[in-house]
Amino acid sequence: SEHALELMSDREPKTLEELNAIIAAAGPPVPGATQAVFGEGPEHADIAFVGEQPGDQEDRLGRPFVGPAGKLFDKALREAGIDRAEAYLTNAVKHFKFEQRGHRRIHAKPSAGEVKRERPWLMKELELARPKLVVALGGTAVLALTGKSTPISRSRGRARFGPYQGYITVHPSYLLRLPDEATKREAYEAFLSDLRHIHDLAR
């Protein structure tokens, strides 16, 4: 976090483009990522969604939420009546962290230290993007947005993230990891219900 704050005070970014240049120049907190994956979407969006970190596909393509979790997220957004193109999508951490297993790159959770290091960037990003409502998708986003780690089961629903009206829900990749179809379906319906609530709150 010292590193991020230093870079920030050197040259306070005035636009998302300037912020992204600083993020790109700083590089990943741990080696491996192909590129930084920046937030995507319009400024002044009704809703900003904050995920954890880019996955394998996102790292290759340089865009957030384009892999398996992103596909499920797209489907849920459509079903909840939220236009993805009108929302702002970003991640708590801007680089893919992974463990190499053969030719597969397995997602590795960013540490609390890595989340804290990139936190000033996320805060600046939101300040510049100025969304109406900020949605934390999963625990890493909650940690990044509040500085505290709270189980989703206890914090789910409406929240406040500093100056922002907030909402806490699960991460779409959590839905993919559930063991059986019935549990999956139930968790997906609960996620949809959160998204519909979010849609209502933001308009």
Q: Which residues bind ligand URA (CB under 6 A)?
A: 51-55, 58, 64-65, 67, 69-70, 91, 173
Least Cβ distance, residue 70 to ligand URA (angstroms): 5
Pick the closer one to ligand URA by CB: 72 or 128.
72
DSSP string, the chain: -HHHHHHHHHS---SHHHHHHHHHHH--SSTT-SS----BS-TT-SEEEEES---HHHHHHT-SS-SHHHHHHHHHHHHHT--GGGSEEEESSSS--EEEETTEEEE-PPPHHHHHHHHHHHHHHHHHH--SEEEEESHHHHHHHHSS---HHHH-EEEEETTEEEEEE--HHHHHH-SSHHHHHHHHHHHHHHHHHHHHHT-
Least Cβ distance, residue 54 to ligand URA (angstroms): 5
Pick the closer one to ligand URA by CB: 64 or 120.
64
Least Cβ distance, residue 125 to ligand URA (angstroms): 14
Between β-strands 157-161 and 164-169, what pairing exists: parallel, antiparallel or unpaired? antiparallel
Q: Give the total residue count for the chain.
A: 203
Pick the closer one to ligand URA by CB: 28 or 64.
64
The whole-angstrom distance between residue 63's C-alpha and the CA centroid of its chain comes to 12
Pick the closer one to ligand URA by CB: 91 or 155.
91
Least Cβ distance, residue 78 to ligand URA (angstroms): 17
Least Cβ distance, residue 121 to ligand URA (angstroms): 15
Pick the closer one to ligand URA by CB: 37 or 133.
37
Pick the closer one to ligand URA by CB: 5 or 108.
108
Least Cβ distance, residue 96 to ligand URA (angstroms): 9
Residue sitting closest to ligand URA (CB): 51
